[in-house]
């Protein structure tokens, strides 16, 4: 596999407070990479920097193109899609109207949306429903489908299965596995069951640094994750 995302020595934080320190990582094409860690480890801060929402030092490239210190608007046009932890919606617009806004009206994106909606039958059934009335899990589904509407090469997600029912989590995991055939995925998760179900490579962050990496299953079976995450 070849590299999709490459991050080198990224350091960032808020004002004078440094949260993420010298983080380097790669995401391969067609890979799901899961970042694990306790609250306050710097996971969400790292994603915000990658999405162009926070200043940082270090370098970021996507598919060989330098994205270092670009704005969020520029980054979104390069094949990078970001799904934040809390999925906001436009007041008064239906699910269908949200998808129309996000797909840029191309035939290929319309086809991709249709494929994703097949993975989320609950969302498909609520096509005409006001998006403000969706549950938290359904909003997460909507956010994923909207992100994929731009045909990205990389989707970055912040805790997509947090606080959702087990049946919704299973649907989300199945969808992530399905899209990994064509889209690379970088996902922050605290739910170890989700990380294990995705059955991919993982990184563990602690106090803003990466302290462990490898197969999530192998790190779990060896007891490494139990020690680092107190599970």
Q: Is the dihedral of CA 176, 39, 25, 19 positive or negative?
A: positive
**Whole-angstrom Cα distance, residue 107 to residue 64?**
27
CATH 3.40.50.980 fits 3-229, yes or no: no
Kindly report the pTM of this predicted structure: 0.90
Confidence of residue 111 (pLDDT cuts 50, 70, 90): low
The domain segmentation of the chain, as residue ranges, is 3-229
pLDDT at 103: 57
Assess contact for 20 and 13: CB atoms under 8 A.
yes
Chain segment 128-187, per-residue pLDDT in tens: 999 999 988 888 888 888 888 778 899 999 998 888 888 888 888 888 888 887 889 999
Q: Where are the beta strands (DSSP E) in 48-158?
A: 56-62, 65-66, 80-83, 154-158
pLDDT at 20 over 80: yes
Confidence of residue 198 (pLDDT cuts 50, 70, 90): very high
| Percent of the chain topping pLDDT 90 | 54
Range of 1-5, 96-100, 195-199 with top mean pLDDT: 195-199
């Amino acid at each position: 596999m070849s590299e999709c995302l490459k991050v080198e020595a990224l350091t960032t934080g808020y004002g004078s407070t440094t949260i993420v320190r010298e983080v380097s990582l790669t995401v391969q094409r067609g890979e799901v990479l899961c970042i694990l860690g306790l609250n306050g480890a710097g996971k969400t801060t790292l994603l915000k920097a990658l999405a162009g929402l926070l200043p940082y030092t270090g370098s970021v490239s996507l598919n060989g193109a330098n994205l270092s210190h670009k704005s969020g608007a520029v980054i979104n046009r390069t094949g990078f899609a970001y799904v934040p932890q809390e999925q906001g919606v436009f007041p008064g617009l239906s699910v269908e109207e949200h998808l129309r806004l996000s797909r840029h009206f191309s035939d290929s994106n319309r086809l991709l949306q249709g494929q994703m909606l097949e993975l989320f039958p609950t969302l498909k059934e609520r096509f005409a429903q006001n998006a403000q009335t969706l549950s938290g899990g359904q909003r997460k589904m909507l956010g994923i489908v909207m992100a994929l509407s731009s045909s990205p090469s990389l989707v970055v997600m912040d805790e997509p299965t947090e606080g959702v029912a087990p049946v919704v989590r299973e649907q989300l995991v199945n969808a992530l596995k399905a899209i990994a055939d064509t889209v690379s995925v970088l996902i922050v998760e605290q739910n170890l069951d989700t990380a294990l179900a995705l059955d991919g490579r993982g990184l563990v962050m602690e106090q803003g640094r990466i302290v462990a990496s490898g197969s999530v299953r192998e790190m779990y079976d060896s007891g490494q994750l139990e020690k680092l995450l107190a599970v």
